[in-house]
Amino acid sequence: MFDSLSQRLSGVLDSIRGQGRLTEEQVATASRELRMALLEADVALPVVRDFITRIKERAVGAEVTKSLTPGQQFLKVVQQELTATLGGESAPLNLRAQPPVVILMAGLQGSGKTTTTGKLARRLTEIDKKKVMVVSCDVYRPAAIEQLRVVAGQVGVACFPSSVGQKPGAIADAALAEARKQFMDVLIVDTAGRTTIDAEMMAEIAALHQQLKPAETLFVVDSMTGQDAANTAKAFSEAVALTGVVLTKVDGDSRGGAALSVRQVTGKPIKFLGVGEKSDKLEVFHPDRIANRILGQGDMLSLIEETTRKVDQDKAAKLVEKLKKNKRFDLDDFRDQMAQMQNMGSMESLLDKLPGGAQMQAQLKSADAEKQVRRTMAILNSMTPQERRFPDLLKASRKRRIAKGSGVEVQQVNQLLRQFESTRDMMKKFAGGGMAKLMRGLGGRMPKGMLPPPR
């Protein structure tokens, strides 16, 4: 539905070539595309403006390296700045306080506070070996208290009983006293969802905060939130001193711009991601993952750079030379190419860097692809050097021998030869274009616009 930023940029920037550094004009053009991309990803407008100002400062004059186009170089600056903005310092939960350490949950209606309370309780119990109690101060929403009771039961932590007739402040006091009595390490306080213009409810959470003096006050925000994320985050951080953010429902396909808005507005780290409804679906925040998601793509840049680095430049250059001198592309060259593909590392590590959709598609094929490269190598190795140099020698009896030697059917030897021939034809076509075109030939599975241009 959306164009990734890299697609947008390659459209406007990659026709401009030759400069060693990004010019002001290029950056201005690219910034307009960036603005649209960020807005489409639901980053709040004031945050977009701010971010673009910073990008402009950093990008003008940035050196365009050999392996990247100007568009890719700009994207790289954006990716780095975005990751840095989202990330900041790595931020575990702060449990350095007199036990019971209190964690207060806050956020809009339905953002995932109660579910996240259960997930945190489980994590603290299982990983941090803490004794955890939870309590619900949501005396408003039907069955909210019951929901937390069930969730606590599922993850096996104590749940301090509360009821609809009580005041949230009284519940919190009683729970804290009980947690102290039972020598709990952590008390997690779930609260009702509230809109920020509900003054009474905002005063209520401020009072709870003052009374509980929590070590952590976590703002729980739905990753699908739009422009309002900035307003809401601001209002909550003004009412209570937030210490961190939990971004929920990241298992969906929202672009997640709210992450940037909230991070920027509150200045507080995103500590966890909710990636499912079940209690184990809580992940430590990875800024690069969310950055790529906001930009609408996987980590294509490091994929390109990695590929460029891993392809043996010398061998590739020699091959180009050879083809230029009108020598033939033979099965030895083909074998070199296959070896390079194996070199690039397991398909899976490359696939990790592709954007979601492409990743899924490719994963289906990847198992096959790797097996196929291995089989191709086995067949090639069963040939004599002479056969590899003069493929025309390969008649029926030789093919049968090779098939036997590599444990395949003759059919598959034929298949390989057809593959070789089409590669040879492709090589002939690219012979004039040098390294970049060769790369493009090798990396046929990469999305359009993502490979370096011929130089």
Ligand X SMILES: Nc1nc2c(ncn2[C@@H]2O[C@H](COP(=O)(O)OP(=O)(O)OP(=O)(O)O)[C@@H](O)[C@H]2O)c(=O)[nH]1
Q: Which residues here bind ligand X, judged by CB under 6 A?
A: 107, 109-115, 138, 141, 144, 192-193, 195, 248-249, 251, 274-277, 281
Tokens of 301: 């840049």
* Binding pattern for the stretch 69-108 against Mg ion, x by CB under 5 A and - elsewhere: ----------------------------------------
Contact, 86 vs 291, CB < 8 A?
yes
Shortest reach from residue 221's CB to another protein, in Å: 10
Alpha-carbon gap, residue 433 to 448, rounded angstroms: 18
Contact, 71 vs 13, CB < 8 A?
yes
Shortest reach from residue 407's CB to Mg ion, in Å: 57
Of 276 and 434, nearer to ligand X (C-beta) is: 276
390 makes contact, choosing from ligand X, another protein, Mg ion, none, with CB < 5 to 8 Å by partner type, with: none
* Binding pattern for the stretch 216-255 against another protein, x by CB under 8 A and - elsewhere: ------x-xxxxxx-xx--x-------------x-xxxxx
Shortest reach from residue 261's CB to another protein, in Å: 10
CA angle 203, 209, 215 (to 5 degrees): 160
Q: What values do phi and psi take at 247, rounded to 5?
A: -100, 120
Residue choice 29, 67, 73, 114 for contact with Mg ion (CB under 5 A): 114
Tell me: cis bond preceding 161? Omega within 30 of 0 counts: no
How far is the first Cα of the chain from the last one, in angstroms, to the nearest whole number?
Answer: 33
Of 114 and 225, nearer to Mg ion (C-beta) is: 114
Of 148 and 379, nearer to another protein (C-beta) is: 148
The strand pairing partners of 101, in sequence order, are 186
430: closest CA among 416, 444, 419? 444
The separation between CA 394 and the C-alpha centre of its own chain, rounded to angstroms, equals 48
Q: Is 232 in the site for Mg ion (CB under 5 A)?
A: no
Residue choice 101, 139, 151, 176 for contact with another protein (CB under 8 A): 151
Contact, 13 vs 72, CB < 8 A?
no
275 makes contact, choosing from ligand X, another protein, Mg ion, none, with CB < 5 to 8 Å by partner type, with: ligand X
Alpha-carbon gap, residue 259 to 263, rounded angstroms: 6
Alpha-carbon gap, residue 204 to 207, rounded angstroms: 5
Tokens of 381: 């190795």
70 φ/ψ sector (left φ>0, alpha ψ -120 to 50, else beta)? alpha
Residue choice 4, 10, 116, 147 for contact with another protein (CB under 8 A): 147
Residue, CB closest to Mg ion: 114
10 Å Cβ neighbour count for 313? Answer: 11
Q: Is 39 in the site for another protein (CB under 8 A)?
A: yes
* The one segment of 110-118, 236-244, 326-334, 397-405 that binds another protein by CB under 8 A: 110-118
Alpha-carbon gap, residue 334 to 332, rounded angstroms: 5
Could you give the 3-state DSSP secondary structure of residue 126? helix
Considering only residues 168 to 207 of the shown chain, the ones binding another protein according to CB under 8 A are 195-197
Listed in order, strand segments (DSSP E) in 264-328 are: 270-274, 282-284
Of 105 and 259, nearer to Mg ion (C-beta) is: 105
162 makes contact, choosing from Mg ion, ligand X, another protein, none, with CB < 5 to 8 Å by partner type, with: none
Shortest reach from residue 115's CB to ligand X, in Å: 3
Residue, CB closest to ligand X: 193
* The one segment of 12-20, 110-118, 395-403, 433-441 that binds Mg ion by CB under 5 A: 110-118
> Which amino acid appears at position 266 of this protein?
T
Shortest reach from residue 114's CB to ligand X, in Å: 3
Q: What HEC string does 39-83 produce?
A: HHCCCCHHHHHHHHHHHHHHHCCCECCCCCCHHHHHHHHHHHHHH
Q: C-alpha distances in angstroms, 407 versus 185, 337, 410?
A: 62, 22, 10
Residue choice 58, 141, 375, 440 for contact with another protein (CB under 8 A): 141
232 makes contact, choosing from Mg ion, another protein, ligand X, none, with CB < 5 to 8 Å by partner type, with: another protein
Q: Is 111 in the site for Mg ion (CB under 5 A)?
A: no
Of 101 and 282, nearer to ligand X (C-beta) is: 282
Residue choice 28, 84, 150, 203 for contact with another protein (CB under 8 A): 150
Burial class (CB in 10 A: 0-12, 13-18, 19+), 305: middle
Of 240 and 413, nearer to Mg ion (C-beta) is: 240
List residues binding another protein (CB under 8 A).
Answer: 1-2, 36, 39-42, 44-45, 108-112, 114, 140-144, 146-151, 154, 195-197, 222, 224-229, 231-232, 235, 249, 251-255, 257-258, 277
List residues binding Mg ion (CB under 5 A).
Answer: 113-114
